[in-house]
Amino acid sequence: MVGVLGAFAELDGATGAIEEIKREGFTDFDVYSPTIRHELEHAVHPPQSKVRVFTLVGGLLGVTFGYWMAIWSSEYWPLVVGGKAIASWIPYTIIGFEVMILVGGLSTVAAIFILGGLPRLTRTIGYDPRFSGGDYGVFVRCNADRAESVESIFRSHGAGEVRRER
Amino acid sequence: MSTTSGSSGLKRREFLKVLGATGAAAGTVGCSSDSVERLIPYLNHPDQTVPGVSNYYATTCRECAAGCGVIAEVRDGRAIKLEGNPAHPLNQGAICSKGQAALQGLYNPDRFRGPMMREGERLVPITWDRALQELNTRLDQAGPALANGVFINQHESGSFPVVLDQWLATRGIPGHLSYDADLNLGTIAAHRQAYGVAWPTIDFTQARLIVSVGADFLDDWGAAVPQQLNFADARAQLQNAPRFVYVGPRRSLTGLNADQWIPCRPGSELAIMQALGGTGTASIAQAAEAAGVEPTLLQGLADELRGAGRSMILAGTRGADAMEVALAAAALNQALGNVGVTILPGSPATAFERAASYADVRGVVEQMASGQVPVFFVRGANPAFTTPPALGFAAAMARVPFKVSFSSYPDETTLLCDLILPDHHALESWGDAQPVPGLIGLQQPTMDPVFNTRPTADLLLLLTGGGALSAAPLAISGATSPGVEVPGAAALGSQVVPAPAPGAVTTTPREHLYRDWLIGRIPGGAAALTSALQTGLIAGNVGQSAAAVRPAPAPVAALPAIAQTEGDFFFHIYPSPLLGTGSGANKPWLQELADPVSKIAWQTWIEIHPTRAWDMGIDNGDLVTITTGTGSVTAPAYLYLGIHPDTVAMPLGRGHTAYGRYAAGIGVNPLIAVPAAEDAQSGGLAYSVTKCRVTKTGGFDDLVTTEGSARQHGRGIAQAMTVAELMAPVTDDHGHDIPGVPSYEPLPGLRSPVAADAQGELADPDSKDKGMYDPQHWSKMASRRWAMTIDLARCTGCSACVTACYAENNIPTVGAPWQGRATSPLTWDERPGANIVKGREMTWIRIERYFEGGEDYGSNFDTRFAPMLCQHCGNAPCEPVCPVYATYHSPDGLNVQVYNRCVGTRYCSNNCPYKVRYFNWFGYGEPNRRQYAFPEPLNWQLNPDVTVRGKGVMEKCTFCVQRIREAEHRAVAEGRLVEADEFTTACAQACPSRAIVFGDAADATWSVAQLATDRRAYHVFGDLSTYTAVVYLKSIIHPGPATPVQA
Amino acid sequence: MATIARPYSDPAGQRPNVPSADIQLPAVKSYEQVDEEIIGTLRPTGKWFLGLGLAIFCMLIGAAAWTYQIYWGLGQAGYEPPVMWGVYIITFVFWVGIGHAGTLISAILYLFRAGFRTTIYRAAEAMTVFAVLTAGLFPIIHIGRPWKFFWLIPYPNWRLLWPQFKSPLVWDVFAISTYLTISTTFLYIGLIPDIAVLRDRETNPVRRQIFAVLSLGWRNSEREWRHFARAYLFLAAFSTPLVLSVHSVVSFDFAMALTPGWHATIFPPYFVAGAIFSGFAMVWTIIIPIRKWWNLQHYVTLNHLDATAKVVLFTSLVVGSAYFIEFFIAWYSNVPVEQEYFWNRVFGQWWWAAWIMLTCNMILPMSLFSQKLRRNPTWLFILSLFINLGMWFERFVIVVPSLSHEFEPWQWSDYAPSWVDMSFLIGSFGWFFMWFLLFIKQLPVVAIAEVKEIIPPKLRGTVDSHGASAHGGH
Amino acid sequence: MTRRRKWAAVPGLAVIAVIATLLSAYSGAQTAQQAGAAQQAGAAQQAGAAPAPLPTVDEVRASIDTVAERGPWAYSGASSPQGYAPEQPINFPHPVHVQGAGMNCLYCHFSANKAPDPGLPAVATCMGCHSIVATGSPEIQKLTQYWSDSLPIPWVRIHKVPDYVQFPHQRHVNGGVSCQTCHGEVQEMPRVFQYASLNMGWCVNCHVERQVRYDCSTCHY
């Protein structure tokens, strides 16, 4: 017995259920929706996403590495071209910029994976294909004795289907 | 590895392979064969060669009759470069394109591999034994009839003609004809009559006014190289330089170097001469009428001539009255007191003495046609091509039962022969030449024979039993040769092999009969020869041939004047300054080298004046047919300002039907349309004898030209200044706007290897890792700045530097018919010069020929020649755009191109304002591609010090970096620094005008450093702040009293 | 994602001049309908196979030409020195430019909350990826020794050699590869939820497994959505300067040289505008037939086309003025070389190319001032073809005449592409459309999740729909 | 749920495949090295010499790694036939001549100190001694055979720099670079093998270390 899954056809049903679940003191639950719905986000009221940290760090690392690579390799084998300074930082800004975008972007993607828990290859408990279609879902982890109350909350908010996951 | 290296499979490693065998055994290609090993080199490698180090052999150039002295650079047994012999009185170290290309004659892939004999229609290889037996037997059969035998030899001075005549005498054959179609026989005959010598020395430096009436002394009139040297010296006198007026129907290369051109119709020269001299019948007005020119021009010239003081009148027309014109010129010189001042019969050039005339050849033809001639010999000369087909030489030859050729190449005449006994190339054989009285230029083998050929001289001696011919010894004037004694000199003497018993035919390919014969005639024998070979010169005179002279041919009636002939244009034909009358056509360097005047290669063109052309709806490239009473030729039109509007002109030299892959079927032969006419007095072949009809054929053929725009568009590439500007006082404040002051600011670009130094980038003590660019770096490389000055007042546009560059730097020729690109998946562009039409020529140095003025299509235009090569900029635009450092700036100021690093983005070329970077569009260096530029054995000539570039890489002028490094190696080995003017680049070395000077501009002791600060100095596109290392010196304009010439 | 629609009803869906943020899909009622209709487009048809076959054939032509060229050398192309760059670089810049519209739509318009991007951005972004994929080939094709291309990439090697980072070509390598990476990632990230949809609707087990892997186990959980939204926002924020920088860098290839006609500071903005211009044209070329054949008119409505047409019109005006500024500067600079070149550009040997450019890029787009034409898909399609042509010739006019008339009059020359060049041009289109056609039949060409976002959610009777979103949103 | 864990199959397989690939690649490299070692050992045996003087592959590698450490990134051996030890037409034992007869390298490679090319001894040079010395040995009889046929000995080239590299021997020899620096202890090698990697980084490191010029046009033109 892992928990109770409720599938809602209507958005406000799901939000209502979530708020009530929280009032009931349940903390460990997942919410599913076919697309971004800020109503849900407000109902769940999660903490601020950490993605921006990844992005910032990645960007800084990138720009540093870009400049360093260009300047180091120029100094490593100093050859004059066109009478220009051997390590001329102005053109190297482009390298720095592009590498910043590259590393920053990739670390942002990494952020989705790490924070969003992707790729998730096994755990399918508490998920239903409908959630990628039209329905909203709430999955509350609880033991059997509290399942009753959760089911009743779901039904009271017009859940299309309520299911116990085991 | 050709795909992974910037170079291709063959080249340097071939030499190293050879090297494995160099010391190993005689017989393999290498220095160790008898004929080469013990020769005494010019430099200090006396007895044996060192692998990878060149030996230098002084010998004589046989590409034209003049007989300049050359030095052959031989590496590991192969001649790889020819340079002028500084000790030689004629060329004084200079060398022309023809001379350079002798190497491609030596290594020509179409040379006969060995003796051949005709079986039916085919020529089949045979052994030398068989060949000589055949020759003997056939001659014996002929018996007394041999009195009608004929031997035509390429005209040359020296002992060989003597030997030849003596051999002919032993067989009862009359003396040979020494024929050279390139010679201007009219002038020679006139000189003989007027001055008693075939060719007086002409001293331009003494003249104040030069008047040339069709005398192309820079192209083919006389000995081009010495004349050019002297002319350049004269022009280098700047404000004291002679003014040069050219009179003729067409502005040749010589004409383009004139300050003024007076166009005249062919055939009117005589009238002009008479008018100028006030002698004879014609008045100025009549002459102008005949010439189709403004009388004022002639009047002005006449007045100028009287007022000029020291002057010279040179005449070199090729009409039916050539000798008369030349005589008139001589008379005028006498009248003006030029003889002994500017014309020096006292010190003649002897090379042209005893040259047979075209009339003699005509006589031979008549004789052969009559069927009396039992045997016909030819050596070198190619009369079947150089005489007009109307003469019917080939047909007459067909009546001769036995025809023998000693030529090395399958030319038109040789292919008609029954027996071919290929001669050694001049660079493989012994000989001598008589350039000037009292001095003999020696000719020695520089390497083992490339093919199974045998020197004709040896054969002749062999056939008559060696020593039999030692009559008429050299008249030695007692002076010893200027050579330096070297150890091992005696070695030569020990090599003298005894002559074989008379009549014996030995088969060993290595006799030195002729060498020993020569030794036998030199007082002091082998030792004297040995020491003389240091300089390739020995004092003395070649004995005269005492042969029976041939019966003089029946004289011909004088021709009608050209003006009377039928047609609407005068038809003017001239020998190509590069290919002569055709002998150069089998050498890709000469085919590829753009004509100095028209800038067209691999093609025969028809020159026509723009105004007349446009009237007929003809434009550049339109096919035009020229029809005369004799025949008609068709070729693309080239609209040329420098031709008389009533005249069309065509160059000789192309249109071969044989003569190897590089010559056959390329271009057309204008002689087809010329009657077999001669100058009745001199017996010279007359080219300009008929008018013609010109019709537009309708077709079109791209001109194979290297020219983009013939105008500078005011961009100041080739600049000039007037004498007034030159003399203007220098005021040194912001001087560069004032004429006569070096017209550029960025001198720092010359003082330091990296122009940025002038901008403080590297001079900044804090700047990190300057490495070798640090002036303090032990190698002191950063203290050098290799640079070059090019004096446009000297440059005549002869293009010898271009060929020298090809030879030195393994530059591929790309114009051969099989080197084009695919026009479809199945078809190839097989036009000659197809790649050049696409602008893909690889000339690291090119001569740009710009016209100034003449916008009214009049005759009053000025020509500027500008050799353009990599400028080795201090701030090179090409460098920062290369993504892989394939081009960068070396610490000694070179703009380096690293072939094996280049990936071929070609961005550098896009960013080069001078457009001097060249791309390997095809695998020119890859033997397994159809565009391969060095078919065996042409690749033997490749310079082992220079990488042969593979496809897909950029290349350009390197300032001959291999020579710089070689000099540095030498200096280091001798524990010193490179000394001032110790070495120079290939182009500078060859330049017969001495216009190019190379050296270290940062070191005042080098002559280039002084020249770079000359008042005439300027940078091309200096306003782009490229800090170029090539500094040009403005040419000087000498406006005539009558003619305004724009600056 | 964040384009929250304001309440608005347009029964006909045809109301002109909608503020682009307000564009709605009235004909799309429910989430299920979206799934059904979009996934319905993924069924391969005969027409599609025909197109794919044609594309592959063209691509093979290009491949054959490349083999041929590598064997013989670059001389098989039409280069005529000093015209050292030709069709390859032209086509390279052309395809890079095409790429830009996609990123603009998916990133910049996303930041600007432009509603009309929602239904077209997926197609445009796929176009971007494949266009850059195509463009990326040409720098390799055009160099003399393609097998040495890796020398442009910095990596530790036993030669101790590194690229020359001052060279615009190295900047290109960085810009293009970064651009390809980021835009591919961007496309894929956006695809994940839709792949999840496919995964859950798929019946064929094999395909389902593949989708399962591709969707990385996406579960539409609120947690995933939250980070997803942030990350998508930051990626968009990165892609925006990236898209501007990439074509600026490409323009540096020219602007950094001192070749007359290239050496101009106006190039970066001018190139970027031109890129967006051509990119939108290509979007039309792609989206208009799709929308017609697959009956997606109620997704890509005339309002969408109208909005894009306005962008095209604007960029066309920018490009047009850039042309004139170039001429003005040439005149004003008083540099004869420059002036001669520009005179030659319009009246020289390639006058026709210049006039094709001016007609297609300046004159014809003027028609978009008319609203009727803006809302006429047929005309937009025809116009898009003209613009593509015109933009190709713009690059031609920049590359070829400049090189053929440089400082050195002696080296002035001509240029004519060879059959090899043309094979590569054909091949590049084949290559591009091969990928695109493969894409649109495997993955949804309209972003399912985002469409769902802008259609009002199903609600219980108790609260009215807008209340919900109002109460939830902002 | 029936659908549980099905998604796991494919990615699981993919991960396993990747790991397998990496492993095989690594082991492949290992075997290649062993093969090289075997070849070396075999060479040593055929040379019929005391195995001691011939350095093992590992020793060779060790010597190279010390070279490699000189510059960052300068790991060695890439695209280099290092350790290449072909069979020669005549099995010429350098040790016998150098150590035994005490001959100097320059005796046979006569131009190494005065020319770009080191020079190969003429057959005559060999015959100078071997018309008397050790005429009995089969190898010498091969030599005499070449001599009597007046053929050069087709030695197999071992040390080779690409065609686009100019390597003037005299500059190095006179500059105090011993032959062994590049060619290894040839006097110890029963059969000569390529000692150094001869790749560019190897050259450049030495140039940098000895503070001689190292711009491209030093060697490439």
Q: In C, which residues are within 8 Å of D201 by CB distance?
A: 157-160
Say yes or no: D210 contacts chain B, CB-CB below 8 A. Answer: no
A85/B761 CB distance under 8 A: yes
Q: Round to whole Å and give the CA distance between B842 and B909.
A: 13
pLDDT at B939 over 80: yes
Mean pLDDT, rounded, for B190-209 = 93
pLDDT at B736 over 60: no
Q: Is B747 exposed, middle or buried (0-12, 13-18, 19+ CB in 10 A)?
A: middle
Hey, which residues does B840 pair with through a beta bridge?
none
**β B69-75/B78-84 pair status:** antiparallel
Residue C158 CA neighbour count, 13 Å, CB half: 16
Note the pLDDT of residue B783: 79
Q: In D, which residues are within 8 Å of A69 by CB distance?
A: none
Please state the ipTM of this predicted complex.
Answer: 0.86
What is the percent of chain C where pLDDT is above 70?
92
Mean pLDDT, rounded, for C8-24 = 53
Hey, which residues does B202 pair with through a beta bridge?
B343
- B693-718 pLDDT, tens digit per residue, is 999 998 999 999 999 999 999 898 99
Say yes or no: B952 contacts chain C, CB-CB below 8 A. Answer: yes
A83/B768 CB distance under 8 A: no
**Chain C: closest CA distance from residue B865 (Å):** 11
Q: Which residue has the tokens 């004429």?
A: B739
pLDDT at B849 over 50: yes
Q: In D, which residues are within 8 Å of A121 by CB distance?
A: 7-8, 11-12
Note the pLDDT of residue D5: 42
Mean pLDDT, rounded, for A87-103 = 91
Q: In C, which residues are within 8 Å of D197 by CB distance?
A: 158
Note the pLDDT of residue D80: 63
Hey, which residues does B153 pair with through a beta bridge?
B178, B379
- For residues D153 and C470, which has the higher predicted lDDT (pLDDT)? D153
Asked if B77 contacts B29 with a C-beta cutoff of 8 angstroms, the reply is: yes
pLDDT at A126 over 80: no
Give chain A's largest Cα–Cα span.
81
- For residues B205 and B170, which has the higher predicted lDDT (pLDDT)? B205
Note the pLDDT of residue B1006: 92
D-interface mutation test, from C150, C158, C162, most D Cβ less than 10 A away: C158
> Per-residue confidence of chain D (221 residues) as pLDDT tens digits?
333 344 445 555 566 667 766 665 554 444 444 444 444 444 434 434 333 344 444 454 444 433 333 333 333 334 567 788 888 888 889 999 998 888 999 888 888 888 888 878 878 888 888 888 888 888 899 888 888 887 777 888 888 888 899 999 999 999 889 999 999 999 888 888 888 888 888 888 888 888 888 889 999 98
Instruction: Count CB-CB contacts under 10 A for residue B141.
Output: 13
Taking alpha carbons only, the member of B777, B165, B65 closest to residue B472 is: B165
pLDDT at C24 over 80: no
> Judged by CB atoms within 8 Å, which residues 203-262 of C form the interface with D?
209-210, 212-213, 217
Q: In C, which residues are within 8 Å of A158 by CB distance?
A: 460
C222/A15 CB distance under 8 A: no
pLDDT at B290 over 60: yes
A-interface mutation test, from D1, D200, D205, D215, most A Cβ less than 10 A away: D1
pLDDT at B1015 over 60: yes
A95/C227 CB distance under 8 A: no
pLDDT at B956 over 70: yes
Note the pLDDT of residue B619: 94
C-interface mutation test, from D3, D4, D10, D209, most C Cβ less than 10 A away: D10
Chains that touch A (3 or more CB pairs under 8 A): B, C, D
Confidence of residue C411 (pLDDT cuts 50, 70, 90): very high
Note the pLDDT of residue B1041: 65
Q: Which residue has the tokens 């940098």?
A: D208
For residue C2, the 8-state DSSP code is -
**Chain D: closest CA distance from residue C158 (Å):** 5
Hey, which residues does B245 pair with through a beta bridge?
B211, B260
Say yes or no: B880 contacts chain A, CB-CB below 8 A. Answer: yes
A-interface mutation test, from B750, B751, B754, B894, most A Cβ less than 10 A away: B754
pTM, two decimal places: 0.88
- C213-265 pLDDT, tens digit per residue, is 888 888 888 888 888 888 888 889 999 999 999 999 999 999 999 998 899 88
A32/C472 CB distance under 8 A: no
Confidence of residue B548 (pLDDT cuts 50, 70, 90): low
Chains that touch C (3 or more CB pairs under 8 A): A, B, D
Q: In A, which residues are within 8 Å of D216 by CB distance?
A: 79
Note the pLDDT of residue D15: 67
**β B569-574/B647-651 pair status:** parallel
Helices (H), C334-418: 336-347, 351-358, 371-374, 377-404
Note the pLDDT of residue B547: 65
Q: In D, which residues are within 8 Å of B7 by CB distance?
A: 162-164
Q: Round to whole Å and give the CA distance between B775 and B782.
A: 5
Q: In A, which residues are within 8 Å of C453 by CB distance?
A: 35-36
Give chain B's largest Cα–Cα span.
94
Note the pLDDT of residue B448: 83
Q: Give the number of B-C residue pairs with CB atoms closer than 8 Å.
A: 189
Q: Is B168 exposed, middle or buried (0-12, 13-18, 19+ CB in 10 A)?
A: buried
The helix/strand/coil state of B16 is: helix
What the block records as the tokens of B181 is 């179609």
- Tell me which residue in D7, D75, D199 faces C212 most closely, judged by beta carbons: D7
pLDDT at B912 over 80: yes
Q: Give the number of A-C residue pairs with CB atoms closer than 8 Å.
A: 220
pLDDT at B470 over 50: no
Residue B4 CA neighbour count, 13 Å, CB half: 3
**Chain B: closest CA distance from residue D63 (Å):** 28
- Tell me which residue in D7, D10, D73 faces C160 most closely, judged by beta carbons: D73
Taking alpha carbons only, the member of B326, B327, B346, B330 closest to residue B338 is: B330
Q: Round to whole Å and give the CA distance between C175 and C143.
A: 18
- B315-330 pLDDT, tens digit per residue, is 999 999 999 999 999 9
Instruction: Count CB-CB contacts under 10 A for residue A40.
Output: 23
Q: Round to whole Å and give the CA distance between B501 and B1027.
A: 71
Q: C-alpha angle C301/C304/C306, rounded to 5°?
A: 110
Note the pLDDT of residue B493: 31
Task: Estimate the crossing angle of helix A89-116 against helix A51-76, to 10 degrees.
Answer: 150
Note the pLDDT of residue B384: 94
Which residue on chain D is closest to C161 by alpha carbon?
Answer: D201
Say yes or no: B844 contacts chain D, CB-CB below 8 A. Answer: no
Mean pLDDT, rounded, for A70-82 = 87
**Chain B: closest CA distance from residue C81 (Å):** 5
Q: Transcribe B45-112 into DSSP letters.
A: --SS--TTS-EEEEEE--SSTT--EEEEEEETTEEEEEEE-TT-TTTTT---HHHHTHHHHHT-TTS-
> Judged by CB atoms within 8 Å, which residues 808-827 of B form the interface with C?
821-825
| Backbone φ, ψ for residue B124 (5° rounding) | -120, 145
What the block records as the tokens of C24 is 């709605």
Q: Transcribe B840-905 into DSSP letters.
A: ----SSEEEEEEEE-TTS-S-EEEEEEEE-----TT-TTTTT-TTSSEEE-TTS-EEE-GGG----
Kindly give, in sequence order, each residue whose CB lies less than 8 Å from that of residue B710, ignoring residues fewer than 6 positions away. Answer: B849, B850, B851
Q: Which helix (H) or strand (E) holds B635?
A: strand B632-639
> Judged by CB atoms within 8 Å, which residues 260-289 of B form the interface with D?
none
pLDDT at B497 over 90: no
**Chain C: closest CA distance from residue B148 (Å):** 57
Asked if B762 contacts A82 with a C-beta cutoff of 8 angstroms, the reply is: no
C158/D200 CB distance under 8 A: yes
Q: Which of A27-36, B586-595, B732-741, D77-86 has the lowest mean pLDDT?
A: B732-741
Q: In A, which residues are within 8 Å of D8 by CB distance?
A: 121-122
